[in-house]
Structure 1
Amino acid sequence: MTTMDLNSDLGESFGAWRMGDDEAILRVVTSANVACGFHAGDPAGILATVRAAVAQGVTIGAHVAYPDLVGFGRRNMDVTSAELQADVMYQIGALQGLATAAGTRVRYVKPHGALYNTIAHDERQAKAVIAAVRAVDPTLVLVALAGAPLVQWARDAGLTVVGEAFADRAYTPEGTLVSRREKGAVLHDATLVAQRMLRLVREGVVEAIDGSLARIDAQSICVHGDSAGAVEMAQAVRAALEQDGVVLRSFVDPA
């Protein structure tokens, strides 16, 4: 039996600024990466998203980020290790409190944006994030870019790590993400994306931007919830996998 997790970045609305359709995406995914207020999200909105996830039986994870509301967490920051560790601990703790109030708990951590990309290869910042997760709860799973050095660093530190692939992103031949600054980095054809993800699940490869095949060892697929047509794309991915007999469930059981 082949299984796969579908995750999405949620809880990112802020006050009057609305981002994505959380309730619709929660009917598709099995894990929710919930913003913790540093790159997006306000407490009331985050709590509403967590409650909606509970109603759908979706697992909750902390989507931690650099303190960058204006840049949506997509700007690189050269922060000290001590500051980064405290920032990550603070964000996990904040979401844990809201999750407890909603009758669930945080089960994993997935860094966001620039932090995600930086710690995939930057050992100093990666070790600060790993230390933060271990300090708060060493049973929390870390979601990381499949194939990145971070995966082994975190496992060496005793964390359980889930490798992640991105449904709507182009890949280099080396299995890394094509920079958003480059043409063709983001994919918009839902049918094409769904077939790419089905091939990933069945064969462990995706077609790279140059037409070659990149091997990706992923246990979770991210379907972004904030782009145009996001819900339709997520639905297409889910439908393609289910029609092929893939069982969709979180990499951890929902609490």
Structure 2
Amino acid sequence: MDKKVAIVTGGGSGIGQAISERLIRNGMHVVIADINQANIDATLAKFNADGENATGYRLDITQRDAVLAFAASVNEKFGHIDVLINNAGITRYTPFYEADDSAWDPVVNLDLKAVFYCSQAVARYMVAQKGGKIVNISSSLGTGTSPHHTAGSPGGSAAYASAKAGVIQLTKTLARELGPDNINVNCIAPGFFLTPMTGATRSPEQVADHIRARTEMAVLKRPGNLKELAGVVSFLCSEDSDFVTGHTIHVDGGRSDRM
């Protein structure tokens, strides 16, 4: 992977930061695209980045024109884009019968529509160079409907689950369409990992209950470590996965509600 260029959306925190760190360690130059400048600065400082191994771009990936300009800028600067990690996402847990546009649109726009924007913007350069890797981050909630009581309802994750399921189907579609140009498109469906999002919309009591329920749901009986997730992403970015495309890999400790 040495000297390859990877874009990681939402690369300034949580899963995205762990992926960025792993790809930098693998020798890639990582372009961290994040809407939060403070997260970008903190992440670059953490990696002791000096411009040789990482670059930060403040970007709202829900804005198509901004994404197109960003991809053009990255390609012009480096001459190639080898990897795209569509990681950025949010949640807005709301009971289905109470959800309105303010609970649905931001989630679907970022978690699904922006994946389309970024993939389309970057794919044109990958097609021109006849090669590339796209890895989409979905969720175990995109593959099943386990109870989710954070919002006071077992269906409180309707928008998030729907968007993440869409990411899985988008992965399959893009793999078929871009495969003839030697572009691999795969997906990761993480299970339970402790990230800043875990407590972002929950009280301390809800966090404790969430950790207990999700830990019990995995046959390994523990949360995942972000390094374990980043390792699977690293595989999908490497030559070892050159004959793997259109797949969703479940990194979830054996979620018993899916087995």
Bigger radius of gyration, 1 or 2? 2
TM-score by length of 1: 0.34
Greater helix percent: which structure? 2
TM-score by length of 2: 0.34
